[in-house]
Structure 1
Amino acid sequence: MDDLDLIRERADAVGLATAEDLAPARERLLAAARTGRPRRAKRWFWTAGAAAALAAGITAVVALAPAGETGAGVGVGVGVAHADPVRVLTEAAGAALGEQAAVPRPDQFLYVKTERSDHSVREVWFSVDGTRDGLIGDTKIPGCRDGKAPVYGANDPSKEGTLEDCRPSPAYRTDLPTTADAMLAYLEEHHSGERGDVNALGKDVISLAYEHALRPASYAALFAAAAKVPGLTALDHVTDGAGRPGVGITWPVPPGSSPKARPEVLVFDATTHRFLGTRDSAVTVKTFVDRVGQRPGR
């Protein structure tokens, strides 16, 4: 049984409590801490501290440092959180596991809208099964049918519309692992950078979380696998590309990087633990539609 199995077992057994649900328990703990007997003052103070710490842990994932406290590679004004970043990612995995995700038809498209910190917007329509032509903005993305895909936007006009060999790239990934260990092995096998480059691995996590659709168990495995990466840091006072506040999780910048290089930062809602995006961009809409160019509700 790995970490994700424990998360799944816990979620199935008791569900995911809200802060409102836990508030009465927190008050009882604090009340108990305040009613200790004077003749056992030393033990009372220890109990009060332990109860307060436990109550804080129940109602919030992270206890955050003041904005002025910063860590290596982190910009001024971004505080390092006191809490273990592994716990933040574990909570995110539990939240993902509890999602009720829709199962698309093969002929549908995954629509994703992202907003960037410079207020620009990106929209994509990707084929669910990878066989139909999609769009990134106004740029046509060829689907792969019978091992062949048309060429669009070629520099050489004579190649426009010709066919080349391909393999379908489905937007809906049902082939991904559903355990933390298996997902980490998958990420290491299909890494985009050098083996052992945790910053590149972070980008691979972002790529799968952004413009792909995964089953809830695979989303959970993705965040649980990320929790196993060494050198993680939790950050306070982080907003995603749409300005939504949250808790940030980052990896170290590779040695030898430019002094201006900034680490990738994944942003999660501090209350629901839902993945929001990164410090530079935010996933604001992600759903399935019936045709290219269609937006939700139209």
Structure 2
Amino acid sequence: MDELQLIAERTKSVPLADSGALGSARARLTAEIAAAETENVVPLKKRPRWAWIGAGAAGLAAAITAVVALAPVEKVGLEPPAAAADPVVVLRNAAAAASKASDTPPKPDQFLYTKTKQPDGEREAWLSADGTRDGRIRMADGSLFPLPGCRNGQAQVYKGDQPLKGVMEPCTPSPAYRTDLPVDVEAMFAYLDANHSGETGDYNAMGKDVLALANETLLTPAARAALFGAAAKVPGLRAVDHTEDAAGRPGVGITWPLRPQDDPKVAKPVVLVFAADTFEFLGTNSTAVTASGVVDQAGQRP
């Protein structure tokens, strides 16, 4: 591998810095170059312009990696990302980014719209903000799946896409806009641990619940930040560099460990994908949220 290729490989997924962040890094780069000159003594007249030999090439690549790793995300309180992603750092950065998102609560009678790229096509959902209005899901094949709202503890029963006249069932509203979730990281982790869909210690199931809350649920910025912060506390996290979500958008992935009894040849862990520069949540390697917003009616698009 030549020197330019080495530098390219080391910096492939690292966001570029702005000029204001480069002062101290430039000094380090100069020192690395000087060290490379000293360690690999070759008469200057005989040395090609890019002939950084052996350890000198690695040192130069490391120095340039350090320079570009000083990304502008520091200005919004994020930790500088490393060339080889640390899952805890990625999730903390995602939490910091989420905390700075705009906060415009929907009206109770509005709907959260999401469009999701899935293996079989695109799925659209209109979920009632307060859980009392009738929403719907449009499947990839175009069929509509009704989501009856819960009013006065009763919800309409459907057979297929047709309501059964006079047939109701007990229910509890399931709002798309969640104001009941903790905004503290420790409290959010306790909530996820107590309410996740799997057995005790099933962190892959907890990962799926994190995904459900991040995908088709509208959270306050503080709650969304706490969600990603709590996810960073899950044991056994692993980062996957240079991955893509289902829409082909590049990013860094975070996975949770499978259960001991799971066959790794059959069971596949959830991979949450975040943009490598902004740490925005994109989706997973099998699903991707490509559009979202708040609308006034089910069937309407932002």
Q: Same fold (TM over 0.5)?
A: yes
Residue 205 (structure 1) aligned with residue 204 (structure 2): no
Q: In the alignment, is the contact (CA less than 8 A) between 1:62 and 1:88 conserved in 2?
A: no
Give the direction of change, closer, same or farther, for the CA distance of 1:276–1:31 in structure 2 (3 Å limit): same
Residues 214-257 of structure 1 deviation map (CA, whole Å, 9 limit, x = unaligned):
00011100000000000000001211011111000001121222
Q: Partner amino acid for 1:29?
A: A
Residue 237 (structure 1) aligned with residue 239 (structure 2): no
> Aligned runs of 1:191-202 on 2, under 5 Å?
191-202=196-207
Q: In the alignment, is the contact (CA less than 8 A) between 1:114 and 1:123 conserved in 2?
A: yes
Residue 151 (structure 1) aligned with residue 152 (structure 2): no
Give me the whole-angstrom Cα distance separating, in 2, the residues matched to 1:34 and 1:57: 16
Structure 2 alignment gaps of length 5 or more: 1-14, 40-55, 72-79, 139-143
Structure 1 alignment gaps of length 5 or more: 1-18, 64-81
Q: Partner amino acid for 2:288?
A: A
1:140 to 143, 146, 150: 146
Q: In the alignment, is the contact (CA less than 8 A) between 1:125 and 1:292 conserved in 2?
A: yes
Give me the whole-angstrom Cα distance separating, in 2, the residues matched to 1:220 and 1:143: 28
Superposed CA RMSD in Å reads: 2.6
Q: In the alignment, is the contact (CA less than 8 A) between 2:109 and 2:129 conserved in 1?
A: yes
Q: CA deviation at 1:30?
A: 2.4
Residues 167-189 of structure 1 deviation map (CA, whole Å, 9 limit, x = unaligned):
11100001111111010011011
Q: CA deviation at 1:56?
A: 4.6
Q: TM-score, normalised by structure 2?
A: 0.76
> Aligned runs of 1:85-124 on 2, under 5 Å?
85-118=87-120, 120-124=121-125
Count of residue pairs the alignment pairs up: 253
Give me the whole-angstrom Cα distance separating, in 2, the residues matched to 1:125 and 1:282: 16
Which of 1 and 2 has greater Rg?
Answer: 2
Identity value in percent: 51
Give me the whole-angstrom Cα distance separating, in 2, the residues matched to 1:269 and 1:200: 23
Residues 94-151 of structure 1 deviation map (CA, whole Å, 9 limit, x = unaligned):
1101111321100000101001244x00000010000011001111111000111110
Which portions of structure 1, spanning 4 or more consecutive aligned residues, are displaced by more than 6 angstroms?
47-51
- In the other structure, the counterpart of 1:69 is none
1:30 to 19, 26, 32: 26
Give me the whole-angstrom Cα distance separating, in 2, the residues matched to 1:266 and 1:244: 12
Residue 267 (structure 1) aligned with residue 273 (structure 2): yes
SS of the equivalent of 1:58 reads coil
> Aligned runs of 1:1-298 on 2, under 5 Å?
22-26=18-22, 28-34=24-30, 54-59=66-71, 61-63=81-83, 82-118=84-120, 120-137=121-138, 138-153=144-159, 159-258=164-263, 259-296=265-302
Give me the whole-angstrom Cα distance separating, in 2, the residues matched to 1:177 and 1:116: 30
Give me the whole-angstrom Cα distance separating, in 2, the residues matched to 1:214 and 1:257: 32
Give me the whole-angstrom Cα distance separating, in 1, the residues matched to 2:287 and 2:184: 27
